[in-house]
Every structure is written in C-alpha cells, then in structure tokens.
C-alpha cells in the first residue's frame, strides 16, 4: 500500500485511474483511443460540454460567467489576468501570501502597476494578512485562496470595491465558495480537479473587453470563450480525466459533502500535531489550510528519522517544500481518511518509541 500525500500533481481516485486507462484503449464506439480521436468529434465535444456542466453544477456558477478549459497552468494565468484586465498606466492590487502570489505579482508588473496591499512575508507567510484596504482605483484585487507551500488558506475573503481575481489552484472543489463574490477564478487542474495539462478559468463576462490593448489570440479570454475552449487543440486527455474526476466528486455528494470530509481529515491531523509533543504546526491556527498541512518537529534533528519511519510505511510525498522545511501533508479530495490515520499512527508510534 502507498499513501500519497504529494502536493501536486496529486492523488486522484482509483476508479478515475481505471476509467482513464480504459479510455486509452477504447474510447468511442468505433474503438478509437481517447488519445487519437479528433477533438472536433461529437464524442469529444460531449466531454467538454459535460466537464463545463459539472464545473457549473458543482460550484453553483451563476449566469453571466464563462467556464474555460485552457492550457499553460495557473502560471500562464499570472500574465493572462493582467493582460486582459489591466490597462496601460493603471494599477492592480495584490495580496502577497507567498511564492505563488509573488509569481503573479511579478508577471503583473510586466503589464502595468502593482500595489501590494498587504504581505505576510516578514513571518515567512505563516498567516493571512487581514487588515488592509483595497484601493478604489485598482483595476482588480488579486488573492491566492490557498497557499500550497506554506499551508495557509483564506477562510474569509475581503469585501472589495473592485473586481476580485483569485488563484484557487490548490483548494478549488474542496469547499463551498460563492462564485458571485469573485469576478475571475483560475486553477491549474492538477491539485483537485484532474491531471496536469488543463487550467480552469471561470470569468464574469462583463469583466472583459474593457481595455484596448492588443492581446495575442492564445492569451485572449474572449477568443477562448468564442471558441468554446476549442480555439486550438485542447488537452483532450486531461479534460477527459478531469470530467471523470468531477463525475466522481458529484457521485460523492459534491463539494458540500467533500468539504465535511476535508474538515474531518485536516482536523484529525492538526489535533495530533497539537497534541504530540514531538511535532508543531507552522501556521497561525485560524489560517490553517485543510488542503496542505505543514508541520515541523520540535527537535529538527529527528526529522530524518521520522521521515524514514513514514517511508517504511508507504507514506509518500511528505517532505515539506524547501522554503519551509519539515513536513507537508497534502490532503486533497481524493486522499482517503485511512491515509491520514496511517500518518497519525506513525506520529504516535514515533513519539512512543522516542519517549
């Protein structure tokens, strides 16, 4: 048995892996593989339609928003967002909550001006800044809902006088959100939606077309909306597997049900981190992420030994990001609660042995 706590690309349900492998061998009635069919066939158009429908249904996307399935990862959105929304000479407001937020800021600065409204950098991003003002004259406010590397998550979003753009790469579909509170949401698929290779964008239609910059076609949201996410060859297999995964999520009771499980899984692990004298959490308690649980050892010299113990038990992907150290257990939707139990057992056995 292996227990994959990797931060991304991450675990998907076993049944999704099985269905995906089947479709590689035979997808449509003529016996073609999903890897060789034309994206212009009615069979594949049905896949795109169902994926978009599932996104809308699972997140309760209101009318007036378009759902796009693009490429280039969340990282391409770092530049596509300002290119489409930030006019020359104008500024955008950004919340600095870590590495990904910084990469978004860096790209936006190429296109226009950036005002960083708040940052938790001086505490190595171990909390989410709360008291800040979003300027009225900003083109938009950009935030990162879950900070995959540091294990912080925004459990509340600020009231904003300007459109809100959010990078939800690592917690989309893990909890209920009110899409109407956001004007543009984007997410690389590989943390909760599907395999790497497809990027989800949910954009309010009225947000677009307001600036007159010339935008290269592949970077223009409007072109992709008009093309139904088929302006060019879409990532056929990644979209197909995402559809399977979203079907799985729907069959489990949707986002509402998975949120309950995600709360249970993360609380079970945080309780052990707080109880076990060998371990401690790295983040402000009220900002702790349910997706990426970061923790270290009271005595860092023991970390190698604990990691060895977990590896012997089939636990994979537990090593923390190099900028935080220690451990990071990523508890995405498809991670069964039994995996969390195996990890907590290992922590308890370690403490018992070392006492």
Q: Give the binding site for ligand PLP (CB under 6 A).
A: 8, 73-75, 100, 144, 148, 167, 169-170, 188, 191
Residue 96, classed as helix, strand or coil, is strand
| Residues 6+ positions from 345 with CB-CB distance below 8 Å | none
The least CB distance from residue 252 to ligand PLP, in Å, is 22
SS3 (DSSP) at 152: strand
The distance of closest approach from Cβ of residue 93 to ligand PLP in the complex, given in angstroms and rounded to an integer, is 18
Rounded to a whole number of angstroms, the minimum distance from the CB of residue 186 to ligand PLP is 9
**Toward ligand PLP, which CB reaches closer, 107 or 272?**
107
Please confirm whether the linkage preceding 15 is cis (ω < 30° from 0). Answer: no
| Closest C-alpha to 329, from 285, 284, 296 | 296
CA–CA distance, 291 with 149 (Å, rounded to integer): 11
Q: Pairing state of beta strands 91-96 and 113-119?
A: parallel
CB 196 → ligand PLP: shortest distance, Å?
7
Least distance CB 133 / ligand PLP (angstroms): 24
**3 state DSSP class of 16:** helix
Q: Which is nearer to ligand PLP, 12 or 347 (CB)?
A: 12
3-state secondary structure of 86: coil
Q: Which of 100, 183, 204, 265 is catalytic?
A: 100
Whether 248 is a known active-site residue: answer no
Q: How far apart are CA 225 and CA 234, in angstroms?
A: 13
| Active-site pick, 171, 183, 191, 220 | 191
191: annotated active-site residue: yes
Q: What is the dihedral of CA 119, 120, 123, 124, to 10 degrees?
A: -100
Catalytic residues: 100, 167, 191
């Amino acid at each position: 048995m292996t227990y994959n706590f990797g931060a991304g690309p991450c675990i998907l349900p076993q049944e999704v892996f099985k269905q995906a492998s089947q479709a590689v061998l035979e997808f449509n009635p003529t016996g073609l593989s999903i890897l060789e069919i034309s994206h212009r066939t009615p069979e594949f158009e049905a896949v795109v339609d169902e994926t978009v429908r599932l996104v809308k249904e699972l997140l309760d996307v209101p009318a007036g928003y378009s759902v796009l399935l693009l490429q280039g990862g969340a990282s391409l959105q770092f530049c596509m967002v300002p290119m489409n929304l930030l006019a020359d000479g104008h500024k955008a407001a950004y919340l600095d909550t870590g590495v990904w937020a910084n990469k978004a800021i860096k790209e936006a600065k190429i296109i226009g001006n950036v005002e960083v409204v708040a940052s938790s950098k001086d505490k190595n991003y171990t909390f989410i800044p709360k008291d800040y003002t979003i300027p009225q004259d900003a083109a938009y406010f950009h935030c990162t809902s879950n900070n995959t590397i540091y294990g912080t998550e925004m459990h509340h979003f600020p009231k904003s006088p300007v459109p809100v753009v959010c990078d939800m790469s690592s917690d989309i579909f893990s909890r209920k959100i009110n899409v109407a509170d956001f004007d543009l949401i984007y997410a690389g698929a590989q943390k909760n939606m599907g395999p790497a290779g497809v990027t989800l964008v949910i954009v309010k239609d009225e947000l677009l077309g307001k600036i007159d910059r010339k935008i290269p076609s592949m970077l223009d949201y409007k072109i992709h909306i008009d093309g139904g996410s088929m302006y060019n060859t879409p990532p056929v297999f990644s979209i197909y597997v995402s559809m399977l995964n979203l079907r799985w999520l729907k069959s489990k009771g949707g986002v509402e049900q998975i949120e309950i499980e995600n709360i249970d899984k993360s609380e079970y692990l945080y309780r052990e981190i707080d109880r076990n004298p060998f371990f401690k959490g790295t983040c402000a308690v009220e900002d702790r992420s349910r997706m990426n649980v970061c923790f270290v050892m009271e005595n860092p010299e023991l970390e190698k030994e604990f990691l060895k113990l977990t590896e012997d038990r089939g636990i994979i992907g537990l090593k923390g990001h190099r900028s935080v150290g220690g451990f990071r257990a990523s508890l995405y939707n498809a991670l069964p609660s039994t995996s969390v139990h195996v990890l907590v057992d290992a922590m308890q056995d370690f403490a018992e042995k070392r006492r």
